Structure 1
Amino acid sequence: MRVITLNVNGIRSAAKKGLFEWLARQSADVVCLQEVKAQQADLTDQMLAPKGFHGFFNCAEKKGYAGVALYSRREPDRLRVGFGSKEHDDEGRYLQADFGKLSVISLYLPSGSAGPHRQESKFRFMEYFFPVLKILRHDGREYILCGDWNIAHKEIDLKNWKSNQKNSGFLPEERAWLTQVFDELGWVDVFRTLNDKPDQYTWWSNRGQAYAKNVGWRIDYQIATPGIAKKVEKEHIYKIKRFSDHAPLIIDYDYKL
């Protein structure tokens, strides 16, 4: 089973850069997209459901903003749109597809970088979502939460960690929250089970030559329950072609969907 997650920073923009031609060659079983920045009525048939896939969306009420999508080869048994926080559900940040005993979730945490009001919204998301994570962790199902969590967990997860300790995405309380998700609740950072090297990033600022110099952040994750996390076989951050300011995170599991 191949699972791909990518923040597209505008699905229409990513499409123009060749995203769907690339996806057609990836043999993915599930693809999770974040920040689609569109309503379903704005999208082409290819964007709504690429050939061979079923397509599902949770778009933000505000046009051109946030929103998540999920494509799957197999039709899900059930879909869950939103996680119960009206503020964040209105922004289209959670979409869950159930396949047998496995659920895959496309997730997009708020960014706090636009100002204090957005950081407060991010903290509210974290506060509301933690008990949800606790319930999911213990409900007997396997989960893979794919997406842009907008938090770099450890110093190894961003190039300039010293100068970013007061910036959104690397605040002590954000990092401590993610540590709780892993250590207290028992979720697994799947990428790090296979790759413990530095300089592994999924997002680069458009300022300067961040991408060319690999001055990046690892803020896109596949975070899973231990059972499915143990079935991980291979990880890859795809950087040959760029579809947005994020890179696709591809993980293969020894699991049949």
Structure 2
Amino acid sequence: MPPKSKKKAAKEVVDADAAAAEEPPVKKTKKGKKDEADEGEEATPKKGKGKKKDEENGDGDKKKVVIPTMTLDEQDFSCSAKTKDGLDWNLKISSWNINGIRAWLGKEGTAYIEKEAPDVFCVQETKCSLEKMPDTVNVDGYHAYWSSGDTEGYAGTGMYCKTKPIEVTYGIGESKHDKEGRVITAEFEKFYMVTAYIPNSGRGLTRLNYRTKEWDVAFQDYMKKLDDKKPVILCGDLNVAHLDIDLKNPKTNKKTAGFTPQEREGFTNLLNEGFVDSFRLLYPEQEGAYTFWAYFMNNRSKDVGWRLDYSVISERLKDNLCDNIIRKFVQGSDHCPIILLLNL
């Protein structure tokens, strides 16, 4: 369960029992069948029939494989990006929805951290309580912080930091929103680092009202209060494809969780409060910039995806921005890592 005290929550994981591979929670339908309650797949096209089904999930796309399988050793993690004034980046932040930390560890997830070597590494959808966190999550040279919710195997966030933060807090300060381990905030000298796993509106949009009328409003207020003190960097799975360009099939997903007008408007409202989608600032017209692909229908190999993962920065950090990179070749989840490079 989430810690009652924010200070008590800011714990570094040192020892924990090893756990089995991640198994997503399931729930029984009225017919007694099992249905995955995995949020990572709720923001995907719903199953349908015939042509519409093909259009929604990309099965009708007959293109050849566009995302080859590459090992970490085969990928280039270097970058020489600079600010518009020619300053080299000196801060690298990585963020990744890992879709279950125990399964991710079983796929050599920490090897990615060693290759990328970010200053801060944010993870979402850990699906693991603090009590059951495997000790193999620890990485030399990093302070690790974790937040989990009331339900085992559901939601959860984490943050690895090379430099120990001034303070680490959990949640957004409202108990009704802080029961699922969705937000961690680390305060550093020059900025606040926030990682978030925004609630999904669910199959059938069962949580749409909560997501848009309650959570989005409260989270926006939380971000504004932080920004009043010092610049904010937000990285995480925000569970929204903001623009038509941010998913493969926008026409057939207008009523799908993650692409409803209400969710898109909620993200627009956040940006209007003094924040910037750093990727679209740099690449306003780039297509195929996806960070999530549903497991079914070979969507990843065909690059039929959604951009659900973001690096959002305070507007006054625009001149500090060097690059925003999508590591679409990195495997291990139905999402891929995103990279933010800044000069601070």
TM-score, structure 2 normalization: 0.71
Is structure 2 residue 196 aligned with structure 1 residue 111?
Answer: no
- State how far apart, in whole Å, the 2-side matches of 1:107 and 1:20 are: 20
- Output one character per residue of 1:87-123: Cα deviation in whole Å (capped at 9) or x when no partner: 3211001100011121111101111123443333322
Measured in 2, the distance between the counterparts of 1:111 and 1:181 equals: 17
- Show the counterpart of 1:195: 283
Map of 1:44-193 to 2, 5 A cutoff?
44-47=134-137, 49-123=138-212, 124-137=214-227, 139-182=228-271, 184-193=272-281
1:169-212 Cα offsets, whole Å, 9 max, x none, are 11111111211211x20201011122230110000111211101
> Which amino acid in 2 is paired with 1:216?
G
Q: Alignment partner of 1:185: what SS?
A: coil
- Matches of 1:241 and 1:218, distance apart in 2: 15
Question: Partners of 1:215 and 1:173 in 2: how far apart?
Answer: 23
2:327: which partner in 1?
Answer: 238
Alignment gaps of 5+ in structure 1:
none
Q: Decide which moves more: 104-113 or 227-236.
A: 227-236
Give the superposition deviation at 1:235. 2.0
Q: CA deviation at 1:18?
A: 1.8
**Which secondary structure state, in structure 2, belongs to the residue aligned with residue 168 of structure 1?**
coil
Question: Shift of residue 43 of structure 1?
Answer: 2.4
Q: Which contiguous aligned blocks of 4+ residues in structure 1 show a shift greater than 6 angstroms?
A: none
Q: Which amino acid aligns with 2:176?
A: E
Q: Secondary structure at the match of 1:203?
A: coil
Amino acid at match of 2:177: H
- How many positions carry a matched residue from both structures? 252
Structure 1 stretch displaced more, 85-94 or 96-105:
85-94
Q: TM-score, normalised by structure 1?
A: 0.93
Amino acid across the alignment from 2:262: E
Distance 1:30 1:17 in 2: 21
Q: Which moved more, 1:119-128 or 1:10-19?
A: 119-128
- 1:216 match: 305
Partner of 1:250: 339
The 1:116–1:235 alpha-carbon spacing in structure 2 relative to 1, beyond 3 Å, is: closer
Larger Rg belongs to: 2
CA RMSD of aligned residues (A): 1.4
Q: Distance in 1 between matches of 2:135 and 2:321?
A: 32
- What amino acid maps onto 2:299 in structure 1? A
SS at match of 1:56: strand
Q: Distance in 2 between matches of 1:3 and 1:130?
A: 22
| Structure 1 Cα separation of the partners of residues 154 and 260 of structure 2 | 24
Could you tell me which of 40, 47, 53 is aligned with 2:130? 40
Query: In terms of mean alpha carbon deviation, does 118-127 or 240-249 score higher?
Result: 118-127
- State the SS of the aligned residue for 2:203: coil
Check the 8 A contact 2:192/2:226 in 1, yes or no.
Answer: no
Q: Which amino acid aligns with 2:263?
A: E
Residues 131 and 42 of structure 1, relative CA distance in 2, 3 Å threshold: same
CA contact (8 A) 2:223 2:232 kept: no
Q: Give structure 2 stretches of 5+ with no counterpart.
A: 1-90
The reply to whether residue 30 of structure 1 matches residue 106 of structure 2 is: no
Paired letter, 1:225: S
